[in-house]
Amino acid sequence: MNNCCFYSSLIFINNIILAYKYKYYIYSILFTFLVITSLIYHSYSNIYTNILDKISIILVVLYGAYQFYNKCKLNNNKLLYKILVIITFLSTIYFYFYGYTCNKYCFDITKGNLYHSLLHIISSIGHNLNVLI
């Protein structure tokens, strides 16, 4: 396998373990699903594996947003973590959606996979911080 995105998808195993450790079992299950679909997509890229991967991404993002919202309501003084979660989220939006509109970053012909791998790392960090809030 010569696709760095395949290997960078494995970083989400860290999210599975951390979420499980902190008893966020749904988060852990969703990240398990994400690892599986991401590995499949980055091994056999087609419209069906893309849709499957996008579904798991949307589920993780929605559940993460739900958790983040509930934790912000608690106002537990972890302001730095909250700011970093927002920054990592906005960074992934920037690299993916802005990149899509301009054929840059994740959609660059030569460096797209590297940026996509960076996206995996940034989003993993953001979701781990969300668990730790």
> With contact defined as beta carbons under 8 Å apart, do 6 and 42 qualify?
yes
- Mean pLDDT for 75-102 is 93
Pair of tokens at residue 71? 């934790």
> With contact defined as beta carbons under 8 Å apart, do 124 and 12 qualify?
yes
What is the tens place of the pLDDT at every residue in 13-27? Answer: 999 999 999 999 999
Residue 96 pLDDT greater than 90, yes or no:
yes
Q: At what angle do helices 112-132 and 79-93 cross, to 10 degrees?
A: 160
Q: What are phi and psi of 76, to 5 degrees?
A: -95, 25
pTM value is 0.94
Residue 75 pLDDT greater than 80, yes or no:
no
Q: How far is CA 26 from CA 51, 69, 98, in A?
A: 21, 16, 30
CA distance 72 to 74: 5
What confidence tier does 66 reach under pLDDT thresholds 50, 70, 90?
very high
Residue 114 pLDDT greater than 90, yes or no:
yes
What is the tens place of the pLDDT at every residue in 15-65? Answer: 999 999 999 999 999 999 999 999 999 999 999 999 999 999 999 999 999
- Mean pLDDT for 104-110 is 94
